Structure 1
Amino acid sequence: MRSEVIVFRDAEALLVDYLTAELAAHGEADVHVAVTMPNPRPDRCVLVPRLGGARRGLVVDAATIGAECWGTSETDAHRLAQLVRGLLAALPGRVLDGTPVYRVEELGGPVNLPDPVSGQARYALTAAVHLRGRALPAPATPTTT
C-alpha cells in the first residue's frame, strides 16, 4: 500500500497576493508587497520571506514568515506593521487561492529595526501561518499480464 504524497503551496506567494489585496482595501494601495526588496527600494513596502517552519502532521505546513514593514518614518513603518499584524491574525478560516489557512501564531511582535545601511524606518514581526496541503493524485500503476 502506498502512502499519499502531500504537497504544499508557496506560502510566500499566497501571502504576497493576500497582503497586496488587503492593504489596498485598507487604503494602502501604494505599499509594494514582495519577498525580496526591489531595486530601487520603494519608500513603503512589506517583505514576507519564508524563514523556515515545519510540517505539522500529515497535511499542515506551519510556514514561519518574517514580515518587514518599511515606511517613510518610524510612525509610518509602525502603523504599517500593526496593519500587517492584524491582517495576518485575520487569516484563520480563510481560503487563499484554494488553500485553507488553519491558524496563525505570532512568534514575535513588531520590533523597531531600522535598516542599518540606509537608516530607513522598518518594523519587523514573525508569524507561523498554518496552511493545508493537498494530496497528489496517485500515479497510474502498470498492469501486468
Structure 2
Amino acid sequence: MGAEVIRFGNHLSAVQAFLAAVLAVRVTVARVPNPRPPKFVLLEPSGGSDRSVVHGWRSMIVDSWGGSENEAFDLALDVEARLKALRNERLKGVLIYKARPSGGIVWMPDPDAKVPRFRQNFEILTRGEAV
C-alpha cells in the first residue's frame, strides 16, 4: 500500500500573491517580465529542505529592481519587512508558518542591462498536505 503521500503547495505563487497585494508593484516568478517595468520584484526557487514529514523549508531568491539604486533598495527593504511579518497565513491554499531571511540584502545590479537590483534569500516554512 505505501506511506501517505504529502505534497507541498506552490509557495512561490502564494508569496507572489501576497507581495503583489501589499507592495503595489508587479511581482513575477522565475522570469524578468518583457517589457521590463521600471520597478518590480522577481521570485526564484532555490531549493529547500524538509523539517519533518509535513513541514518544509522552501528557499527562494528575491530580487528587487528599481529605476535607481535608492528605489531598488527601498523596495528590497519593503519586501524584507513584509515577508518577516508573514505568520500563519493560508495563501492560495498554502499554509505558511513564517518566512525568514537567509543572509542580508546584497547589491547585485543586472550585468547586461545595468539596471539597479538588490538580492536577498528567504526561507519559507510551509506545511504539506496529504493527497
Report the TM range for the smaller structure's normalisation: over 0.9
Which protein, 1 or 2, shows the higher relative CO under an 8 Å CA cutoff with sep ≥ 6? 2
Instruction: Confirm whether residue 38 of structure 1 aligns to residue 33 of structure 2.
Output: yes
| Mapping of residues 1-145 of structure 1, within 5 Å | 2-23=2-23, 29=24, 31-35=25-29, 36-136=31-131
| CA displacement at 1:7 relative to structure 2 | 0.3
Greater strand content: 2
Amino acid at match of 2:8: F
Question: Share of identical aligned residues, percent?
Answer: 36
In 1, are the aligned partners of 2:72 and 2:116 still within 8 Å (CA)? yes
Gaps of 5+ in 2: none
In 1, are the aligned partners of 2:13 and 2:92 still within 8 Å (CA)? no
Number of aligned residues: 130
CA–CA distance in structure 2, aligned partners of residues 93 and 15 of structure 1 = 13
Query: Secondary structure at 2:112's aligned position in 1?
Result: coil
- Indicate the structure (1 or 2) with the bigger Cα radius of gyration: 1
In 1, are the aligned partners of 2:68 and 2:116 still within 8 Å (CA)? yes
In 2, are the aligned partners of 1:66 and 1:124 still within 8 Å (CA)? yes
**Which residue of structure 2 aligns with residue 139 of structure 1?**
none
CA–CA distance in structure 1, aligned partners of residues 41 and 81 of structure 2 = 14
CA–CA distance in structure 2, aligned partners of residues 47 and 71 of structure 1 = 12
Q: What TM-score comes out, normalization by structure 2 length? A: 0.93
Amino acid at match of 1:33: V
Query: Secondary structure at 1:17's aligned position in 2?
Result: helix
CA–CA distance in structure 2, aligned partners of residues 111 and 66 of structure 1 = 11
Query: Secondary structure at 2:86's aligned position in 1?
Result: coil
| CA displacement at 1:33 relative to structure 2 | 0.5
In 1, are the aligned partners of 2:9 and 2:93 still within 8 Å (CA)? no
Query: Secondary structure at 1:93's aligned position in 2?
Result: strand
Query: Secondary structure at 2:104's aligned position in 1?
Result: strand
In 1, are the aligned partners of 2:10 and 2:94 still within 8 Å (CA)? no
In 2, are the aligned partners of 1:66 and 1:125 still within 8 Å (CA)? yes
| CA displacement at 1:57 relative to structure 2 | 0.7
Across the aligned residues of Structure 1 and Structure 2, the Cα RMSD in angstroms comes to 1.2
Once structures 1 and 2 are overlaid, which stretch shifts more, 105-114 or 71-80?
A: 105-114
In 2, are the aligned partners of 1:93 and 1:101 still within 8 Å (CA)? yes
